[in-house]
Amino acid sequence: MSCISISGTRKWATELAYVLLTSLAAMLGASPAFAIEPFPAEFKTQSIAVNGATLHVRVGGKGPAVVLLHGFADTGDMWAPLARALDKDHTVIVPDLRGMGLSSQPAGGYDKKTQGVDIAMVMDKLNVQKADLVTHDIGNMVGYALAAQYPDRITKWVVIDAPLPGIGPWDEILKSPLLWHFNFRGPDVDRLVKGRERIYLDRFYNELSADPKKIDEATRRHYAKLYARPGNMHYAFEQFAAFGQDAKDNKVFAEKKLPMPILALGAEKSFGDQEAAVIRNVGSNVQGGIITGSGHWIMEEQPAQTVEKVRAFLEGK
């Protein structure tokens, strides 16, 4: 009689349940109850103390490490499809940034230089010396600060669809009417949004996507609930409020270009080719690419295509 491990059985059962629920929802003409894909069953969550904050971190898989960083209107949950594709031959590390998701909410430290140190300390606590890096949105800014401060620890970087403060045409980018939220601050922002988190997030999903229907109802409810947690929206605003300091720090970082191979992916209906153009200001070995048919929300709009391009680059194809 063949022997089946408990962990293998649990993983099989989780994946079967997901397929059955998704199929049932499709037959009923409804969105799956769990449109946010779960991480594989073997992933564990940890609370890791770093640099004045405690980060909620998902860890799973085996092999060379890869760190996945999210941005605004998402959390690390966005990366589940990519984690599932990588975990067979990578140790996958997925934190929520400070003040976001299920991480703690320190009063300060939302400049990306500080948060780059946060991620380096997560790697330290997990005994990971080197890692590949995949980032999106504000995760790009944290990822750049990480790679610039610890260039010998980042082996490859996939940077997806967001600019870097102070780099390239930053001043022109700030003038875009679509990016008014970069300067949405002041004494009343918290009470303007409190109780209206879903409305506020819907604006981003609707206006910055190629097809708003790709960000389904279950996904919107999921993130609205997380961003409605006390303090979460306030500290998300702090991420944007730090852009002025980030611009100053980035100009210093950019005096020395990053040496690692970089894939700069722009969404066709968002930053497009401009993503690679911006990143060439900070990297010496940059190739560009496009996620076709997608707006900014690449993992919600074009997950299979995004996973394919990221995996091919990390594997050197």
Instruction: Return the pLDDT at 11.
Output: 44
**Cα 252 versus chain centre, distance:** 24
Q: What is the DSSP letter of 208?
A: S
Helices and strands in the chain, H and E counts: 13, 8
Q: What is the pLDDT of residues 200-218, one digit of tens each?
A: 999 999 999 999 999 999 9
Whether the per-residue pLDDT at 7 is higher than 60: the answer is no
Instruction: Return the pLDDT at 22.
Output: 41
Instruction: Return the pLDDT at 30.
Output: 37
Q: Provide mean pLDDT across the span 19-44.
A: 60
Instruction: Return the pLDDT at 317.
Output: 66
pTM: 0.89
Dist CA 305 CA 79 (whole Å): 13
Residue of 204 and 27 predicted with greater confidence:
204
Local confidence band at 160 (pLDDT 50, 70, 90 cut-offs) = very high
Q: Output the six-digit token pair for 237.
A: 């605003």
Which residues on neighbouring strands pair with residue 65, listed in sequence order?
Answer: 91, 131
* Burial class of 240 by CB neighbour count within 10 A (0 to 12, 13 to 18, 19+): buried
Whether the per-residue pLDDT at 93 is higher than 50: the answer is yes
Q: Output the six-digit token pair for 229.
A: 């947690």
DSSP letter string, 156-177 = EEEEES---TTSSSHHHHTT-G
Dist CA 220 CA 225 (whole Å): 9
Dist CA 233 CA 237 (whole Å): 6
Q: Give the number of other CB atoms < 10 A from CB of residue 280.
A: 18
Residue among 257, 267, 278 at smallest CA distance from 305: 267
